[in-house]
Amino acid sequence: MYEMVKTPNPPRSRCPINFGLEIFGDKWTLLILRDMLMVGKKTFKEFQASDERIASNILSERLARLEQSGLIQQQAVKADARQIHYAPTDACRALLPVLVEMAYWGTTHDPKTGAPKSFVRSYERDRDRLLLALAQGTDPAKS
């Protein structure tokens, strides 16, 4: 039998932080969302090609779960029927501040960070503007 997405178990609590963790509390899901929201990736292959090298079965399962959770939607690609574009929903886009805070924390606390200083400067100068720019894909300093 092929890989099914399991019916979600009852939430461990009604804490809003826990609500998020039950959706993206693992080592991979937020990397997919990072690629989608901050890098503009859309296809299976693009997600697969990230530096962290996610396995195809895990990517596949995470995309299915994200869709079930209402964070992403599939879009058929007219020009190429093999491709599927995964697009973020509004709820997904609302996670951008979480990703930005994580990126800021990582950048300022990893002594060997690979993130550009421009990101830190941009964040510290005007966080709201950075958020807006990332939301538009204007990308004044990418992670």
Partner DNA sequence: CCATTTTACTTGCTTTTTGCAAGCGATAGA
Partner DNA sequence: TCTATCGCTTGCAAAAAGCAAGTAAAATGG
Q: Say if CB 5 and CB 68 are below 8 A apart.
A: yes
Which residue(s) pair with 87 in the sheet? 73
Residue 17 in contact with a copy of itself, rule: CB under 8 A: yes
Question: Residue 30 and residue 25: Cα distance in Å, rounded?
Answer: 8
Q: Say if CB 31 and CB 66 are below 8 A apart.
A: no
Binding positions for a copy of itself, 42-81, rule CB under 8 A: 50-53
Question: Residue 38 and residue 50: Cα distance in Å, rounded?
Answer: 13
Supply the minimum distance, in Å, between the C-beta of residue 34 and DNA. 16
- Choose the one of DNA, a copy of itself, none that binds residue 95, judging by a C-beta under 5 to 8 angstroms depending on kind: a copy of itself
Quick one: which of 34, 41, 42, 62 contacts a copy of itself (CB under 8 A)? 34
Interface positions with DNA (CB under 7 A): 1-3, 6, 26-28, 43-46, 53, 55-58, 60-61, 63, 80-84
